Amino acid sequence: MDFSGNVRPLSMERIATESSSMSFINEAVEAIRKQVGDGKVLLALSGGVDSSVVAALLIKAIGKNLVCVHVNHGLLRKGEPEQVVQVFRHEMDANLIYVDAVDRFLDKLAGVSDPEQKRKIIGAEFIRVFEEEARKLDGIGFLAQGTIYPDILESDGVKAHHNVGGLPDDLKFKLVEPLKFLYKDEVRVVGKALGLPDNMVYRQPFPGPGLGVRCLGAITRDRLECVRESDAILREEFAANGLEGKVWQYFTIVPDFKSVGVRDGKRSFEYPVIIRAVNTKDAMTATVEDIPFNLLSHITDRILKEVKGVNRVCYDMTPKPVGTIEWE
């Protein structure tokens, strides 16, 4: 297999089955070994589908010569950093550097309410943390990226939300992009064949800035926890009720205002949680999922009981357009 150029080879068969994914994996492993030899490869491993599949493929090809860096910026969903460590360090025996950068990101974001400014800070800080880790390592010659074919088709070969594109010139490693000719569904089939867990391979899309754009306005730790905990309940209930994999994207949002309520016979002044669940093909337009009313009531009860600081739950009925999928 030849990963040069930016056009998917016509001879490349569609990867839909176990056997087609095995032949892709074998060819990709051979191509990676040929490209990097005994060299070391660095990878920013977020735990998203693309970076996880790249990691699994490179572990198969070059083992410990792959160095994965997982940056926990504090804006990941509940359980995600732990799962990255469990799957890659403990189960796949990967060379994984885990960076706890939670305070660093939240300190930088404190008081910043403009959504684009928040995105810029998260992206820039990510590059800085990754760069610092890269500088501590010796002998790295390559940078692996989870670029997939739609990234090439849609944005001239630059992974639109990939944060590691901005490394300084003296750290310009040679790129290893083994998924660059694959469509998303093919990436999932390959990930499954490489032994990654279903909840990693079939997960819903998750924005680069993570929960940061769902904790509206200036991010505070208490509201961020409200987003994380309510999102975990929503995901758990969708999974238990057969909606995982059926609904394209679902999450919760916590605005930066409080409303009045009553708790234990006293007036409460707490945050609302908004539930969003949408279906779409390409994220350009979206429809709202028709969730059974009793399931919505059950999720509401759980959020009100289990998430500290929340006294109201709403369901967002807005299609795209007029609303966007995210709130920021």
Nearest to 328 by CA among 165, 201, 215: 215
Q: How far is the CB of 205 from ligand XMP (least distance, A)?
A: 4
d(CA 123, CA 158): 15
The answer to whether 277 touches 237, Cβ cutoff 8 Å, is no
> Residue 264 — left, alpha, or beta (φ > 0 → left; ψ -120 to 50 → alpha)?
left
Q: How many residues does the chain have?
A: 328
Q: Give the binding site for ligand XMP (CB under 6 A).
A: 119, 161, 205, 207-209, 249, 283, 320, 324-326
Contact 273, 314 (CB under 8 A): yes
Backbone angles phi, psi at 30, to 5 degrees: -65, -45
Nearer Cβ to ligand XMP, position 22 or 232?
Answer: 232
Closer Cβ to ligand XMP, 81 or 209, answer by number: 209
* Minimum gap (Å) between residue 204 Cβ and ligand XMP: 8
Contact 130, 71 (CB under 8 A): yes
Strand order, beta sheet including 95-100: 95-100, 66-72, 40-44, 140-144, 174-176
- For ligand XMP, give the closer residue by CB, 44 or 94: 44
Closest of 310, 123, 126, 127 to residue 215, by C-alpha: 310
State the nearest-atom distance from the C-beta of 145 to ligand XMP, in Å: 14
**In angstroms, what is the minimal distance from the CB of 95 to ligand XMP?**
26
Least distance CB 48 / ligand XMP (angstroms)? 9
- Least Cβ distance, residue 33 to ligand XMP (angstroms): 31
CB-based contacts of 240, cutoff 8 Å, min separation 6: none
Minimum CB separation of residue 21 from ligand XMP in Å reads: 25
| Helices and strands: H and E segment counts in the chain | 10, 10
Nearer to ligand XMP, 173 or 327 (CB): 327
Q: Which is nearer to ligand XMP, 262 or 284 (CB)?
A: 284
Nearer to ligand XMP (CB atom), residue 151 or residue 177: 151
CB of 121 closer than 8 Å to CB of 109: yes
CB of 325 to ligand XMP, least distance (A): 3
Per the CB < 8 A criterion, the answer to whether 51 and 177 are in contact is no
Q: How would DSSP label each residue in 151-190?
A: HHHHHTT--TT-GGGG--GGG-PEEE-TTTT--HHHHHHH
